[in-house]
Amino acid sequence: MAYTKRNDGRKFDEIRPTEAKAGIIKRADGSAYFKMGKTVAYAAVYGPREIHPKFLQNPKEGKLRCYYNMMPFSSVGDRVRPGANRRAKEIAMVTEKAILPVVDLTEFPNSVVDVFIELPQTDAGTRCAGICAASMALADAGIPMKDMVAAVSIGRVDDKLVVDIDYSEESYEDGTVADIPMAVISRTGEISLLQMDGNLSRDDLKKAIEMAKKACSEIDKIQRDTLKKKYEVKK
Amino acid sequence: MGKLLVEDKTIVTPGEELAEGMDFLPAEGTFRDKDKILASRMGLIHIEGRLIKILRLSGRYIPKAGDTIIAKVTNILMSGWTFDINSSYSAMLSVKEAKEFIRRDADLTKYYDIGDYITTSIVKVTSQKLIDVSMKNPSLRKLTGGRIINVNPNKVPRIIGKRGSMVSMIKNATECNIIVGQNGVIWIYGQPENEIIVVNTIKMIEKEAHISGLTERIKTFLEKKTNKKISIEKVE
C-alpha cells in the first residue's frame, strides 16, 4: 500500500503547526522557544564571554559553541540517558556548522558564544527545531549576524516526498523511509546543513531541496515576526 | 535612485533589506551587499540623513574609551587589579593609575580588595579588547554601602535621560545617591525603603524604555510611591 495520505492529515508540502517565542529565559543574554508540531526546542545564548581553558582562545575572532540535549523522557521510547552521547555531540557539531556561516564574531576576539539547545519533548526533526531556535536566540542576544537560518526536515515515505517529517512517518513500516534535514540561509537561499538518512534518487533530492527552500522561507517569516513581536508596543 | 525599504524607528532582524541603491550609506549594524543595505544585527532603525544605523536593544556592554563604569574587583595581580565590568572582557587597573601613590611593596588589598566595587573610567580599549581603566579623576572612587543592581546596558541612556534629567528626578524624589555606570551597573545609596523604590523605578524604565511618554509615567509612579509632588525639569 502506497503512502497516499499523511498520518496527521497534512498536505505533503505543509509544515507542522509552528509556534515560537523570543526572550523567554531571563538570565540568558538571548533565548528562544521553537515548537514544530510535538517537537519543542529551547535555545539559550550566553556571551560573548571569555573562553576557558585559555588555549581554546582565538585572537582573530570569537568562537561559537553549541550544545544539544534531549531530556530523559522527551521521546516516545525508553528514557534517554542524560548528558552528551555520540549522537548529541554530532548534532551539536552540525548545528554549529549550520549557524556559523551567518554569525560574525570578528568583533569579539578571544571570546566564545555558547548556545544551549534543550529538547523537553521530541517527535522527529529535533536538529531542525534546534537550529531554528538557536538562530532566533542569537539574534535576540544582539550577536552580529549577516542573516538568519531556518531548518526543516524533508522525508521520503515510500514513494512520496513529505515536508517536515514527524515520528509516525519516520517509523512507517509498509515501505522504506528517508530523512533529509536541511538548513537554509534565508536571504541567499544557501544550504548550510544537508544530511541524509536512507536512500533517495537524484531527482527526488533535487525536488526535496526545492521543497525545503519553500518551507524554510515560511519558517523564516515566523522567526522574524516572533523576534519583532518581543518589542512590540503594548496598547 | 535610492529607495528606503524600512521606516525610521522600526525593529529589524538580521539580514533584512533596509535600502536599495547607492544613495544611502551603511553605518553601525548594517552592511552593503552589491546595491542593497542589509541589517547585520537585530535592533532599532535610526536614519540620520543618508546614514542608516541600527541601535542595539540587547547584548553585552561594548567597552568604549571615556566611559565611566562601575567595576567589581575579581583578581589582584602583581601590579594592579582586574575587574568584572559586565562585558565580554575584563578590565585592568594598574597601580600607577590608582588614586593615590602606591609603594612597590604595598599590600594592594588595602586599597581595593576582591569583591569591592569602584567607579572608574576607561582609558583605552585595544583591538584585542584589552581594557585599561584609570582612577585619576576626583569623582572616581571606591563604593561603600548601598546596593548594586544590573540592568541592560543598552537602556542606560534612558535611565540617565536627557542631560541626566531622569536620574536627577529619581534622586530628588527618593533622596538617594545614585551612580549609573555606562556598563549597566547601578549603585544606589540611601534609606533602605527608598533604595527599593529606586530599584523598582529603574526596573520599570528598563522594561518600558522603548515606549514613548516614559518620563510622565515614571513621574506618576514616583509620586505614588513617595507621596511627593515632582516637577519635571525642562531640558532644551
Question: Do residue B86 and residue B45 come from a single domain?
Answer: no
Which amino acid is located at B108 in the chain? L
Q: Which of A141, A186, A224 is the closest to B59 by Cβ?
A: A141
Cβ atoms B67, B182 nearer than 8 A: yes
Pairwise CB contact (< 8 Å): B15 & A143: no
Which residues face A94 on adjacent strands? Answer: none
Which residues are CB-contacts of B60 (< 8 A; sequence separation ≥ 6)? Answer: A29, A47, A48, A142, B86, B87, B88, B153
In a domain, A160, yes or no: yes
- Chain A contacts of B90, Cβ < 8 Å? 50
Question: Do residue B139 and residue B161 come from a single domain?
Answer: no
In a domain, B102, yes or no: yes
Containing domain of residue A194, as a range?
18-227
What's B221's DSSP letter?
H
Q: Does A97 touch chain B (CB under 8 A)?
A: no
Measured in angstroms, the CA of B34 and the nearest CA of chain A are apart by 13
Residue A233: predicted pLDDT: 64
Q: Which residue stretches of chain A are H helix?
A: 86-99, 126-140, 167-170, 202-230
Which amino acid is located at B87 in the chain? S
In a domain, B231, yes or no: no
In a domain, A11, yes or no: no
Angle between helices B165-174 and B214-226 (to 10 degrees): 10
Angstrom distance (rounded) from CA B60 to CA A89: 28
Residue B93: predicted pLDDT: 96
Residue B209: predicted pLDDT: 81
Residue B214: predicted pLDDT: 85
Q: Does A226 touch chain B (CB under 8 A)?
A: no
Residue B215: predicted pLDDT: 87
Measured in angstroms, the CA of A102 and the nearest CA of chain B are apart by 9
In a domain, B235, yes or no: no
Question: Do residue B73 and residue B127 come from a single domain?
Answer: yes
Q: Which of B40, B127, B210 is the closest to A145 by Cβ?
A: B40
Q: Does A198 touch chain B (CB under 8 A)?
A: no
Return the exposure string of B68-98: e unless at least 16 CB atoms fall within 10 Å of the residue's CB, then b.
bbbbbbeebeeebbbbbbbbbbbbbbebebb
Angstrom distance (rounded) from CA A66 to CA A81: 19
**End-of-domain residue from the set B143, B169, B194:** B143
Containing domain of residue B20, as a range?
3-56
- Chain B contacts of A24, Cβ < 8 Å? none
Closest CA to A47 of B164, B177, B89, B24: B89
Closest CA to A16 of A33, A35, A34, A37: A37
What total number of domains does chain B contain?
Answer: 3
Q: Does A100 touch chain B (CB under 8 A)?
A: no
Question: Do residue B200 and residue B137 come from a single domain?
Answer: no
Measured in angstroms, the CA of B211 and the nearest CA of chain A are apart by 6
Q: Which of B17, B31, B60 is the closest to A29 by Cβ?
A: B60
In a domain, A87, yes or no: yes
Residue A235: predicted pLDDT: 45
Domain at B41, CATH number: 2.40.50.100
In a domain, A8, yes or no: no
Series of mean pLDDT values for 10-residue runs along chain A (235 residues): 86 95 94 96 95 93 96 88 92 97 95 96 95 97 95 94 94 92 94 94 95 96 94 64
How far, in Å, are A41, A94, A188, B73, B143 from residue B136 at the CA level?
50, 50, 51, 17, 16
Q: Does B227 touch chain A (CB under 8 A)?
A: no
In a domain, B91, yes or no: yes
Which amino acid is located at B149 in the chain? I
What total number of domains does chain A contain?
Answer: 1
Cβ atoms B193, B174 nearer than 8 A: no
Q: Do you find a cis peptide bond into A17, omega within 30 degrees of 0?
A: no
In a domain, A58, yes or no: yes
Q: A80: which 3 cell numbers? A: 534517554
How far, in Å, are A55, A123, A162, B71 from residue B120 at the CA level?
30, 52, 60, 7
Question: Do residue B162 and residue B218 come from a single domain?
Answer: yes
Cβ atoms A105, A49 nearer than 8 A: no
Which amino acid is located at B117 in the chain? Y
Residue A64: predicted pLDDT: 97
Pairwise CB contact (< 8 Å): B58 & A29: yes
Measured in angstroms, the CA of A49 and the nearest CA of chain B are apart by 4
Tell the burial category of B210 from Cβ atoms under 10 Å away from its Cβ (0-12, 13-18, 19+). Answer: middle
What sign does the CA torsion over A120, A121, A122, A125 have? negative
In a domain, B81, yes or no: yes
Question: Do residue B194 and residue B180 come from a single domain?
Answer: yes
From first to last of its 236 residues, what are the pLDDT tens digits of chain B?
678 899 888 999 999 999 998 899 999 999 999 889 999 999 999 999 899 999 999 999 999 999 999 999 999 999 999 999 999 999 999 999 999 899 988 999 999 999 999 999 999 999 999 999 999 999 999 999 999 999 999 999 999 998 999 999 999 999 999 999 999 999 999 999 999 999 999 999 988 887 778 888 888 999 888 887 777 766 55
Angstrom distance (rounded) from CA B138 to CA B135: 8
Question: Do residue B162 and residue B111 come from a single domain?
Answer: no
In a domain, A232, yes or no: no
In a domain, B61, yes or no: no
Question: Do residue B210 and residue B156 come from a single domain?
Answer: yes
Q: What are the phi and psi torsion angles at A118 (to 5°)?
A: -120, 140
Q: Which of B14, B90, B154 is the closest to A148 by Cβ?
A: B14
- Chain B contacts of A142, Cβ < 8 Å? 41-43, 56-60, 154
In a domain, A7, yes or no: no
Domain at A130, CATH number: 3.30.230.70
In a domain, B202, yes or no: yes
How far, in Å, are A149, A175, A185 from residue A101 at the CA level?
9, 37, 9
Question: Do residue B132 and residue B161 come from a single domain?
Answer: no
Angstrom distance (rounded) from CA B87 to CA B184: 9
